[in-house]
Amino acid sequence: MTMNTVVKLARRPQGHVQREDFTITQEPLAELKDGEIRVATQYISLDPAMRGWMNDAKSYVPPVGIGETMRAFAAGTVEASRNPKFKEGDTVSGLIGAQSHAVSDGQNVVKADTSLAPLQTWVGGLGMPGLTAYLGLTYVGEPKEGETLVVSAASGAVGQVVGQIGKIYGCRTVGIAGGPDKCAALTSEFGYDAAVDYKGGWLADDLKAACPDGIDVDFENVGGDILDTVLAQMNFRGRIAICGLISAYNATSPVPGPYNFRSVLVNRLRVQGFIVFDFIKKYPEAYEKLGTWHKEGKLKFKEDVREGGLEAFPDVLKMLYTGENFGKLILKV
């Protein structure tokens, strides 16, 4: 008999995620009720937001409870259906959790058209990261042709897509990433006009050299020193789209905000936080744009697919916060 392998939250992490924060259990498969489908998971998305979901704190979604299945975006194949909208063999993606077999009422998944892109891309460039990049840049960053766009964590799942869309919009694009390999990929693979290595020791100077006309739009995934350095180089009426603040997610004591916060006043910046769920009505538009650009070859998606199955979930998740991954981090089940 097939069993469901489930990653459950065992305890709330202190600081960095530990293996012991999770338990991995085997459970019998549940019987399907009318309207339900069972999805055999093939790819699980590892997302920076997961760290926040593990905290017992007010956030944009309720925390994952102790003993509950870890929340995760994933993609897989329908292996049983009692829902007329789905049939066996359909590929789907959605918020179905870190488990090998997910039962869904069909509300939290979409069909994943694998003629457009391989299934793994449906948790990446054509999944939440792609939607986040398109919607956040377009509707929060609001870049104009000829402006300078800076993206932090620029080789990550979201950042790589933001940079490419920035080029489509006619911006000068500058990516910030850690280490020479990622920085080389920013320009050679993702079309960034310039790359800045935040581990290089000269962040402010290097950023200034890469942005000779200052910064008009910052798509911020990191926060901390990077945001501080960006703030000091923002142009008048610049916009900062706060997509993530990953530098602080594992903090166990209060983290100071940006020392250059005064730039918000001096330069009349607009700093705005968002998450992809805010734009749910614009998903169809985003899928259409991303799919078209991808088909036209204007958008490429770099994925970092890790083997090891669900047993490896905790270790693979940790890579996100240390910068070990290179491209969209995905766990193959």
Residue 137 within binding range of a copy of itself, rule CB under 8 A: no
Report the b/e string of 142-180 with b at 16+ CB within 10 A.
ebeeebbbbbbbbbbbbbbbbbbbbbbbebbbbbbbbee
- The pattern of x and - marking residues 192 through 231 that bind a copy of itself according to CB under 8 A reads -------------------------------x----x---
3-state DSSP assignment of residue 61: coil
Give the shortest CB-228-to-a copy of itself separation in angstroms.
8
Burial of 20 (0-12, 13-18, 19+ CB in 10 A): exposed
Give the shortest CB-262-to-a copy of itself separation in angstroms.
6
The residue count of the chain comes to 333
Q: Which residues pair with 75 in a beta bridge?
A: 43, 93
Give the shortest CB-273-to-a copy of itself separation in angstroms.
4
Contact stretch for a copy of itself (CB under 8 A) within 91-99, 267-275, 286-294, 306-314: 267-275
Contact stretch for a copy of itself (CB under 8 A) within 88-96, 252-260, 310-318, 319-327: 252-260
d(CA 131, CA 153): 16
Residue 248 within binding range of a copy of itself, rule CB under 8 A: yes
Residue 12 within binding range of a copy of itself, rule CB under 8 A: no
Give the shortest CB-195-to-a copy of itself separation in angstroms.
25
Give the shortest CB-261-to-a copy of itself separation in angstroms.
4
Q: State the number of binding residues for a copy of itself (CB under 8 A).
A: 32
Burial of 56 (0-12, 13-18, 19+ CB in 10 A): exposed
Residue 272 within binding range of a copy of itself, rule CB under 8 A: yes
Residue 278 within binding range of a copy of itself, rule CB under 8 A: yes
Residue 280 within binding range of a copy of itself, rule CB under 8 A: no
Instruction: Give whichever of 175 and 258 is closer to a copy of itself, judged by the CB atom.
Output: 258
Show the tokens assigned to 2. 């097939």
Give the shortest CB-242-to-a copy of itself separation in angstroms.
5
Give the shortest CB-58-to-a copy of itself separation in angstroms.
7
Q: Which of these, 215, 146, 205, 202, lies nearest to 174 by C-alpha position?
A: 215
Residue 258 within binding range of a copy of itself, rule CB under 8 A: yes
Show the tokens assigned to 101. 């077999």
Contact stretch for a copy of itself (CB under 8 A) within 18-26, 77-85, 251-259, 303-311: 251-259
d(CA 132, CA 167): 17
- Show contacts with a copy of itself in window 30-59 (CB under 8 A): 58-59
Show the tokens assigned to 95. 């918020």
Count the Cβ atoms, other than its own, within 10 Å of residue 74. Answer: 27
Instruction: Tell me if 217 sits within 8 A of 247, measured CB to CB.
Output: no
Instruction: Tell me if 223 sits within 8 A of 245, measured CB to CB.
Output: yes
Q: Give the footprint of a copy of itself on this chain (CB under 8 A).
A: 58-60, 223, 228, 242-245, 248, 254-262, 264-275, 278
